[in-house]
Amino acid sequence: MGNQVRGRGLSCYYLGVGFMGRPNPSTAEAALLEDGRVEVRCGVAELGQKLEVTLRMLAAAELEVPVDRVVLVHRETDLAPNSGVTAASRQTYISGGAILKAVQELKSRILDEASEVLESGPEGLVYDQGNVVADGPSRQEVSLVEIARSCQRRGRSLSSRVTYNPPVELKVDPETGYGKPYASYSVGVTEVEVEVDLDTGQVTVSDIVCITDVGKAIFPKSVEGQIQGGAAMGLGYALMEDAAVREGRVSITGFHDYLVPTSLDVPAIRGIIHETPDPHGPFGARGFGELTVLGVAPAVLAAIKKATGVRLRNLPVTPERVYAALRKQESLQSEKEVNR
Amino acid sequence: MLKTINLTVNGKTITTEVESSHTLLHFLREGLGLTGAKEGCNEGNCGACTVLMDGHPVNSCLVLAVEADGAHVTTVEGLAEGERLHPLQEAFIDRGAVQCGYCTPGMLLSAKALLDEFEAPTEKQIREALAGNLCRCTGYVKIIEAVSEAARRLRSAAARDPSADVTVAAGSRPEAPSLFPDPAPAERDHAVPRVTGELRFTDDLRLTDTAWGKVLRSPHPHALIRRIDPAEAEKLDGVLAVVTARDIPGQNLYGILFNDQPVLADAKVRFVGEPVAAVAAVSPEIAERALGLIKVEYDPLPAVLSPQEGLSPGASLVHQGGNVMMHKKVQIGDVDRGFDKADVIVEEEFTTHWVDHAYLEPDCAIASPTEDGLEILAPCQHIHHVQEVVAAALAMEPRQVKVIQMPTGGAFGGRIALVAQHIVALLAYKARRRVKLKYSRTETMTATVKRHPCVHQYKVGARADGTLTALRARILADTGAYSAHGPIVVGKMAVCAMGPYHVPNVQVDCFGVYTNNPVAGAMRGFGMPQTAVAHEGIMDLLADKLGMDPVALRVKNALEVGKPILTGIPLTESLGVVEALQAAVAERGERRG
């Protein structure tokens, strides 16, 4: 093979979660269904990040029930309240928080209903794994299914609705920028290894490691998916994707002239999950879905410098650019030698 | 010309007549209703239409239906045996290889062809077998794992080894008892319809009585519209409605912070590809012909083709209020004194470029009149925003507009703004018919928002020990013809300009500039992938100049509790910056060791 050199490079980066300097709330509802399952309604968008799984897990964890006892309704304006946009890494953090609060409120209504079913004062009642338990000399227990039936008999329904914004005042001075722009941040570090072909300028990324602090990984498998998918998108951004606009016209027409990474371009990507809890995120979770795109491009630039001595500062790092920079470096070096 | 073909599809023998010009993809989707094979690009590049023909994976968009005469065709619908999923489908679910699900059917079939040929494929063989199937969500890692896992299960099943049924989860941390319940039932709810081809994306719906929409777009980057005459188009047989700005009963302008973008251009056009008119007709062919009959007279204006040009004196005005869409400032401390205190100063300019989301599912939206309003089916990232914009345009109450998010084949910020939903709504409203508006791959790539290209001029000062003393940054972002999510991008780039590091003296000027380029809007990271290139590039340059280890420089300046963030407020809770850096160093040692 050609005249190849290797180098490693690292980048460190962060991202403010949600929109800057203003509240961006989400509304969620929770209701006890007739069969004892709990329906959570919140207008979030499933886009492949598997919010449909994560948010059900989050609600089920609070209810202490299996995940299939939670139904998520989110796709229709008639059925689900406004969660705000599914973007800016904000849904697990903000809508997750709204859902958590709605479920907590529902639980307190469930306790009230249980006190009637059990004919016991609310003080001795404890919510425990999908049951309400009256602790006393005669331990009594009533399940969510029984509570739902009781509601039906009495012609009642138990539900809650919460509009939630993380309890942090966000304000940024319009002139100086002074203030608190975001309630939460997430942080990542990426290290890559590149192979640079000195004859052609071709750069291949042979290894990617991403440390991503997500606060709390509710659904680790999807966290890994977001890390790996984001890193692949970052690799495309660094090396090959270019929607150049010339004379006001986008130059791309399809996947033959807009090159996105294929299975041959993306190396093994190791995602390492860190969990520095966020004080307001549900179970400590932070928003991080976008964060994973940030690291690869700067790490690739650092790795190319390490491998070749050439410092590039324009994206994308096409073979043409690398080749030109390598030749320029060579001619500078030979000039130096001549001058010596 | 019709031709008779005999073929076997998923084990069923079929004799039928097909149009000789139709592709196998068209025949499967329209003739047989097998919509598992997706029309992602229609030019053989994305692989979403992959099916097996006599055991070999083919892009069914590049094969004519008549070429399948006598062939055995397998589509994703034919993978499972009744309720029993194929081991590949099971492994895709277990390994988390299914995200949006749009590439999944094609991916599964390419993988099946590989496993039919090789019992124990190597990672390299798997990567090569999947190289024609693009995925924008997963980074391929879990897909490759899943194929390998399925091969293992198939081998073990062949050897009747019961241990084959046990899967070991590939977690990156030790399994501790979890706060959270077993996700498997919810995962299956999400993934099973995606691995069987059962999940219907918008273009997969087969609704009755549907008219077809097409959009007429501006050929000019900047021009006044003198006249639009739809009369000839309206007269064409089969045309149900032609809409222009004049047909909008409510508010034509929409946006996020600033309502500056028209649903359909009225007085002038500001970018190539801007929607000017749209047609609904009984067939896509007639709709296309009608577009050619709409007469639009333009007076071209000088175009602003870069943010530098937009800021120069005497530049043509994209919008009346001036070309600066937003100037976001951060001024903390005393930046000149900060540089005075510096032992070392580094300066550099970085440029970042236009990028497309390139989600695999082309845009498609369907609008149907209801008793008192409209129902809209489309992929999107915010149903209530679509509802708000459409209701305002049609002068309706929001409750009259029902929006349903269809399964969405990737988004990455490209589907926050309206893409086709508002135009199809207008067509259905005027035609009083259900209308489907489907964009080709090219239209999806050229008419939608992009990532802001930026110029980042950074100057940073530090003491000899690496402590940062000052940052001066000037960032120029091309926001294109309309603001869209530009204000959010510009704001974020300003207040997060130096990454997770503490700098006491800061002067950041971040400009979002209107140009006659395509609209730059939201894309995964809202400006942060651009900013990271600049702040990490300048940190590396500084490390070099100081002769300091780049990680040590970062640790030295990392944001920690008590240190102010860029905008002057001290951090009250740890973000884990130092821990993440240390973990990277430890991992590096392991990899080299």
pLDDT tens, A228-244? Answer: 999 999 999 999 999 99
Say how many CB pairs under 8 Å bridge A and B: 408
User: Low-confidence residues of chain A, pLDDT below 50?
Assistant: none
Residues of A in contact with B271 (CB under 8 A): 248
What's the mean per-residue pLDDT of chain A?
Answer: 95
> Does A65 sit within 8 Å of B332, measured CB to CB?
no
DSSP letter for each residue of A42-79? -----SSS-HHHHHHHHHHHHHTS-GGGEEEE-SBTTT
Q: What is the pLDDT of residue A148?
A: 96
A63 touches chain B (CB under 8 A): no
Contacts of B406 in chain A (CB under 8 A): 75
What was the ipTM of the complex prediction? 0.97
Return d(Cα A213, Cα B129) in angstroms, integer.
34
Chain B residues inside the 8 Å CB shell of A290: 524-526, 528
CB < 8 Å to A224, chain B: 96, 141-142, 172
Q: How far apart are CA B492 and CA B527, in angstroms?
A: 7
- How many CB atoms within 10 Å of residue A138? 7
**Looking at residue B175, what is its pLDDT?**
56
For residue B508, CA distances in Å to A146, B333, B351 come to 61, 12, 17
Helix H or strand E encompassing B347: strand B344-352
Please give the Cα distance from A267 to B591 (Å, whole number). 15
**Interior/surface letters A290-324, b for 16+ CB within 10 angstroms, e for the rest:** bbbbbbbbbbbbbbbbbbbebbbbbbbbbeebbbe
Q: Tell me how close the Cα of B267 comes to any Cα of chain A, in angstroms.
A: 19
DSSP assigned state of B31: I
Cα separations in angstroms, B362 against A274, B216, B249, B420, B496? 35, 18, 29, 11, 33
Q: Which pTM does this prediction carry?
A: 0.96
pLDDT at A124: 84
In DSSP terms, B366 is beta-bridged to B377, B436
| Minimal Cβ distance to B450: which of A209, A243, A262 | A243
Q: Is A297 on the interface with B (CB under 8 A)?
A: yes
Number of CB atoms found within 10 A of residue A189's CB: 30
Distance in Å, alpha carbon of B568 to nearest chain A alpha carbon: 6
Is the Cβ of B525 closer than 8 Å to some Cβ of chain A? Answer: yes
Active site residue A290: yes
CB contact under 8 A, A255 and B591: no
C-alpha to C-alpha distance for B14 and B6, rounded to whole angstroms: 6
**Which residues in chain A are closer than 8 Å to B492, comparing Cβ atoms?**
16, 20
Query: Nearest by CB to A245, which of B128, B499, B517?
Result: B517
Determine how β-strand A185-197 pairs with β-strand A203-213: antiparallel
Interface of B with A in 93-122 (CB under 8 A): 96, 99-101
Per-residue pLDDT of chain B in tens (593 residues, 90 and over written 9)? 999 999 999 999 999 999 999 999 999 999 999 999 999 999 999 999 999 999 999 999 999 999 999 999 999 999 999 899 999 999 999 999 999 999 999 999 999 999 999 999 999 999 999 999 999 999 999 999 999 999 999 999 988 755 555 444 444 444 566 899 999 999 999 999 999 999 999 999 999 999 999 999 999 999 999 999 999 999 999 999 999 999 999 999 999 999 999 999 999 999 999 999 999 999 999 999 999 999 999 999 999 999 999 999 999 999 999 999 999 999 999 999 999 999 999 999 999 999 999 999 999 999 999 999 999 999 999 999 999 999 999 999 999 999 999 999 999 999 999 999 999 999 999 999 999 999 999 999 988 999 999 999 999 999 999 999 999 999 999 999 999 999 999 999 999 999 999 999 999 999 999 999 999 999 999 999 999 999 999 999 999 999 999 999 999 999 999 999 999 999 999 999 999 999 999 998 776 64
Window 105-144 of A: residues touching B by CB (8 A cutoff) are none
Choosing from A52, A64, A290, A337, which is the catalytic residue?
Answer: A290
> Cis ω on the peptide bond leading into residue A166 (within 30° of 0)?
no
User: How close, in Å, is residue B391 to chain A by CA atoms?
Assistant: 13
Q: Calculate the alpha carbon distances from B358 to A237, A324, B98, B409, B454 in Å.
A: 12, 29, 18, 10, 20
Cβ-Cβ contacts under 8 Å, B522 against chain A: 87
Cross-chain Cβ contact B533/A297 below 8 Å = yes
CA gap B132, B58 in Å, rounded? 10
Query: Going edge to edge, which strands form the sheet with B505-514?
Result: B324-332, B505-514, B468-480, B454-462, B344-352
What dihedral do alpha carbons B311, B314, B318, B323 form, nearest 10°? Answer: 30
Min Cα–Cα distance to chain A from B319, Å? 16
